[in-house]
Amino acid sequence: MPNDQESRQSHVGELLPFQAEFVDRFTEPGSSPNHLLVGPPGSGKTAVISHIVERTLASGRNRRVLILAPRPIVEQQAYLLRAVTKSGSVQVVDRYRYREMEAEAPVGQSPWPDAIVALMSIDFAKQEDISDGLPRVSWDLVIVDESHLLSGRRDDVLRRLIDSGSVKRLLMMSATPVEQPAWLPELVTTDWRSSVADLLSKLKVPLRKETVAFSYTRKEVAVFDRLGDLLAHLDAASSPRMLQLTLLNCARSSLYALEASLLRLRDGLTNGWKFPAFDADVSGGEQLLWEHQTQQLPESHVRVGLVEDLLTALGEVEEDSKLNALNRLLEGLVSDRITSTSAVLTCYVATADYLSSTLADRGYVSTQLTGSIPVEERAHLLEDVFASQGLLVATEAATQKLNLLRLRYCVLYDVPKNTERLEQAMGRMWRPGRSGPLDVFLFDDTSLVGPRELLARFESGGAI
């Protein structure tokens, strides 16, 4: 097994020429203070952040650095930063750590120390006391990762920092070009898309994508029908639309994930509505929108009986058509005597638990990765999977910022409708530096009876 330093370094890697050129240009004395870097998924923005911070810390020009990122990738970014900078000032700041900093600070002074590389979830930063305190100190460098996801109160966090004049240098990093708001300072834009496309076109190994065919049974379709009734009722009760979307996507992932979410919803309604913390390890925009939202609703506004009816319908389902399709796929790979590393990726922890358990019952030995596992341990477990050419079952959130270049076969068990999220998932496997072929199997249910109707009703903007 590689040691901790080797494992981390393998994920950062050496910079490619276009990456090194940007780091040089950004860190050279006299460089413009404000930059926007547009790089598609898999283009190495994470490595660039690490090298920029390392170089600016070494030069002594930056002492207080703030990095804002989506929650699922904060720990991974910190893990890689510590490998490159070898600095004890790299800290993930969550509520617990912020309270410690407040207790450590002299009375009447800011909790933010003079020297810190603070990594923070953008959704934690938007909380009132944090967004109030950030502009009260000067930041030598502010980096916003996945800046294309900024909207609403997340926008307000950055705007308050800019308007206060407390940001000396700003680096926005985006997977796609987006129109910049007028309140942002003028940004020097670097676009990597053509450089990455050129490198990918020169890969001498094949990429094959295949949609896995399956259809739902009559009883499974009945579950989606009952779910439609519940979602329409939730819409009429003015419940948060994110609650409806989460339930729908849990059902699309696995009926096990839907059942787990429904049980939490039922318990919340029975005990006096508390906006439930749905599956804590989902990736992409759903998690960002869901985080920190709470809502109180009178129990009478949502009928517990509809939840019970849906749970009853779930209990009558005798087979899992989606899981059966996965079993057929894996059996085909085994029958072809394939011994290369394979992975099954899902959006939900409940689905990952379900798949690991059911695959074990069928004789498959798999390694499971979820966000609850510390990032250092995740990296080691991934190395073990590659070394043994084994089977990985993981949530997409748990694999963000991890290097999946050595995967030979990947099953996207939950195919996102959002094209950008699909590109992000692909970018962790199909990117410059890949040396072997890749087969990707997509479980796309958007055309199937059940999900198709609910998705169409949801996208129409009306009641589901």
pLDDT (0 to 100) of residue 2: 41
pLDDT interval class at 47 (50, 70, 90) = confident
Q: Which residues of 298-325 are buried (b: 16+ CB within 10 A; e: fewer)?
A: eeeebeeebbeebbebbeebeebbbbeb
How would you write 353-418 as a 3-class SS string? HHHHHHHHHCCCCEEEECCCCCHHHHHHHHHHHHHHCCEEEEEHHHHCCCCCCCCCEEEECCCCCC
Mean pLDDT of all residues belonging to the chain: 82
pLDDT interval class at 450 (50, 70, 90) = confident
* Residue that wins the pLDDT comparison between 52 and 184: 52
CA angle 451, 457, 458 (to 5 degrees): 85
pLDDT (0 to 100) of residue 285: 37
pLDDT (0 to 100) of residue 289: 36
- Residues 6+ positions from 426 with CB-CB distance below 8 Å: 41, 42, 440
Phi-psi region at 78: left, alpha or beta (left = phi > 0; alpha = psi -120 to 50) = alpha
Asked if residue 353 has pLDDT above 90, the reply is: yes
Asked if residue 135 has pLDDT above 90, the reply is: yes
pLDDT (0 to 100) of residue 335: 60
pLDDT (0 to 100) of residue 192: 93
pLDDT (0 to 100) of residue 277: 44
Where is 179: in which H helix or E strand? none
Asked if residue 8 has pLDDT above 70, the reply is: no
Average pLDDT over residues 149-165: 84
Of 44-53, 133-142, 237-246, the one with minimum mean pLDDT is 237-246
Of 95-109, 431-445, 447-461, the one with minimum mean pLDDT is 447-461
Tell me the two tokens of residue 325. 């399709």
On the question of a common fold for 4-200 and 203-464, the answer reads yes
pLDDT interval class at 290 (50, 70, 90) = very low
**CB contact at 8 A, 6 and 385:** no
pLDDT interval class at 449 (50, 70, 90) = confident
pLDDT (0 to 100) of residue 87: 74
DSSP state of 272: S
pLDDT (0 to 100) of residue 287: 41
* Residue that wins the pLDDT comparison between 282 and 219: 219
CATH class of segment(s) 203-464: alpha beta
pLDDT (0 to 100) of residue 357: 93
The span from the CA of 164 to the CA of 187, in Å, is: 18
pLDDT interval class at 237 (50, 70, 90) = low
Say if pTM beats, i.e. exceeds, 0.95.
no
Average pLDDT over residues 78-96: 86
Of 211-225, 267-281, 405-419, the one with minimum mean pLDDT is 267-281
Of the ranges 88-97, 277-286, 451-460, the best mean pLDDT one: 88-97
Tell me the two tokens of residue 96. 């617990």
Asked if residue 22 has pLDDT above 70, the reply is: yes
pLDDT (0 to 100) of residue 276: 47
Asked if residue 292 has pLDDT above 70, the reply is: no
The structure tokens 């276009």 sit at: 18
What CATH number labels 4-200? 3.40.50.10810
Q: What are the domain boundaries of the chain?
A: 4-200, 203-464
**CB contact at 8 A, 402 and 374:** no
* Residue that wins the pLDDT comparison between 195 and 456: 195
Per residue in 305-348, pLDDT tens? 888 889 999 999 999 999 999 999 998 886 655 567 889 999 89
- Helix or strand or coil: residue 146? coil
Per residue in 239-287, pLDDT tens? 667 778 888 889 999 999 999 988 888 877 777 655 444 444 444 434 4
